[in-house]
């Protein structure tokens, strides 16, 4: 019996090894941001349903993780497209070039807003970016000097805010949303202060971009559902999530106004809501032609029925870019224009 089992196992493994060598990848592989994931998967599914190509496989690895995989080389073992909720950085681009990924096409998908939410049953927050900075930065200016953040309650930051302890659930550093929070909330609010402006670049960066580690800021590395669950069980806690997630769960959570502006499709698209950012994906040009369907996938994504103002991605919470920009981006995607840093 043992001999038979062993023989069967050996044959199976050998058979698998042989087919493995013979089979080339015939479906697109996409990695990257969890913020772009809902849109990317929706396009992938539509693309697969059309029936000409296999449905692309989409992994949600976070923007940083996606860039690492995407830039690690050329060939069918490496992904073809990576989604990003921020622009590719210079060092990531360098890494790509070093590993032979020389042609990259950049596509701006649309916009997303970052919202500060709490449970419907909790107090309604009206926040400013400055207040969020004061509540969540590791070090703030007290009497002109950088000291460890002394604020314990929201009304320590500003008397107009509720008398509740500061507790913010936010995405961990592997999320593009976290980078965007630093870039759009912490940095601008922090660098407005003259005492900070006087510092040299490195100290300034450290002072402005580090979040609290004393328990007032809690990092959640999983997904927005986990943040939402923590928020609903603790009505005074604030969560940092993306607008598309809020849009789907507006009966359980409410968003704070930021600098007096309410987050909505319109206010994010026209830029009046202050904490919004573009979303991207990056295409490895060397894989076009090698992996079937990449051009067609780009065409599906950049068609108005997908990413237009009334396209199916709008139903998933994507905020469409203005018409002119969409047109330009679609043309660029079609021509597979090289991006430059």
Partner 1 sequence: MTEMIQTTATRTAETVAARLNRRYTAERRFRALGLGAILLSVGFLAVLLGSIVDKGWTGFLQTQIAVEIAFDPQVIDPEGTRDPATLDTADYAALVRAGMAARLSPEADRATRRDLSALVSTMAADQLRAMVTADPALIGSRATLWLLASDKLDMVVKGQVPRQVGAAGNALNDRQLGWLADLEQAHQTRKTFNTTFFTAGDSRAPEQAGIWGAVVGSFFSLAITLLVSFPLGVATAVYLEEFAPINRWTNLIEVNINNLAAVPSVVFGLLGLAVFLNVFHMPRSAPLVGGLVLALICLPTIIIAGRAALKAVPPSIRQAAAGLGASPLQIVAHHVLPLAMPGMLTGTILGMARALGETAPLLMIGMVAFIVDIPKSPLDPSAVLPVQIYLWAGSPERAFVEKTSAAIMVLLLFLVSMNMVAIVLRKKFERRW
Q: Of 118 and 131, which has the nearer Cβ to partner 1? A: 118
What minimum distance in Å lies between the beta carbon of 228 and partner 1? 9
Separation CA 100–CA 287 (nearest Å)? 12
Separation CA 207–CA 187 (nearest Å)? 9
Q: Of 76 and 187, which has the nearer Cβ to partner 1? A: 76
What sign does the dihedral 39-43-49-54 (CA atoms) show? negative
- Largest interatomic CA distance in the chain: 81
In which residue are the tokens 């991006």 written? 339
Q: Of 244 and 286, which has the nearer Cβ to partner 1? A: 244
What minimum distance in Å lies between the beta carbon of 44 and partner 1? 7
Q: Of 23 and 233, which has the nearer Cβ to partner 1? A: 23
What minimum distance in Å lies between the beta carbon of 41 and partner 1? 4
Separation CA 327–CA 130 (nearest Å)? 36
Question: Which residues of this chain interact with partner 1, rule CB under 8 A?
Answer: 2, 5-6, 8-9, 12-13, 16, 19-20, 23, 25, 27, 29, 34, 37-38, 41-42, 44-45, 48-49, 54-55, 57-60, 77, 120, 222-225, 244-245, 247-252, 310, 316-317
What minimum distance in Å lies between the beta carbon of 58 and partner 1? 4
Q: Of 5 and 200, which has the nearer Cβ to partner 1? A: 5
The strand ranges marked E within 71-212 are 81-84, 104-119, 126-127, 139-142, 145-148, 168-171
Helix 323-335 / helix 294-301 crossing angle, nearest 10 deg: 180
Token pair of 96, please?
């790509």
What minimum distance in Å lies between the beta carbon of 186 and partner 1? 25
What minimum distance in Å lies between the beta carbon of 118 and partner 1? 14
Q: Of 151 and 297, which has the nearer Cβ to partner 1? A: 297
Separation CA 125–CA 260 (nearest Å)? 10
């Amino acid at each position: 019996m043992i001999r038979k089992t062993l023989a069967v196992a050996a044959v199976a493994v050998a058979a698998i090894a042989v087919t493995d060598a013979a089979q080339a990848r015939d479906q697109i592989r996409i990695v990257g941001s969890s913020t772009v994931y809902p849109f990317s998967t929706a396009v992938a599914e539509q693309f697969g349903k059309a029936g000409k190509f296999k449905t692309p496989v989409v992994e949600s690895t976070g923007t940083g993780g996606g860039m690492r995989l995407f830039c690690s080389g050329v060939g069918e073992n490496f992904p073809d497209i990576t989604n990003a909720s921020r622009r590719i950085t210079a060092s990531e681009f360098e890494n790509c070039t070093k590993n032979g990924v020389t042609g990259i096409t950049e596509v701006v998908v649309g916009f997303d807003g970052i919202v500060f939410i709490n449970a419907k049953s909790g107090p309604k927050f009206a926040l400013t970016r400055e207040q969020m900075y004061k509540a969540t930065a590791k070090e703030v200016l007290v009497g002109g000097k950088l000291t460890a953040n002394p604020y314990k309650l929201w009304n320590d930051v500003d008397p107009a805010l509720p008398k509740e302890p500061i507790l913010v659930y936010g995405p961990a550093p592997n999320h593009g949303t976290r980078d965007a929070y630093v870039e759009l909330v912490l940095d601008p609010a922090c660098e407005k202060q003259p005492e900070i402006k006087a510092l040299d670049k490195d100290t300034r960066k450290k002072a402005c971009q580090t979040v609290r580690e004393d328990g007032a800021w809690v990092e959640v590395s999983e997904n927005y559902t986990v943040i939402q669950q923590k928020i609903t069980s603790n009505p005074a806690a604030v969560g940092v999530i993306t607008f598309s997630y809020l849009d789907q769960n507006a009966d359980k959570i409410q968003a704070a106004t930021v600098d007096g502006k309410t987050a909505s499709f319109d206010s994010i698209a026209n830029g009046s809501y202050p904490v919004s950012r573009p979303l991207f994906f990056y295409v490895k040009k060397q894989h076009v032609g090698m992996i079937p369907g990449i051009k067609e996938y780009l065409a599906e994504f950049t068609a108005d029925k997908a990413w237009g103002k009334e396209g199916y991605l709008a139903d998933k919470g994507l905020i469409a870019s203005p018409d002119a920009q969409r047109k330009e981006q679609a043309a660029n995607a079609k021509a597979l224009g090289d991006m430059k840093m």
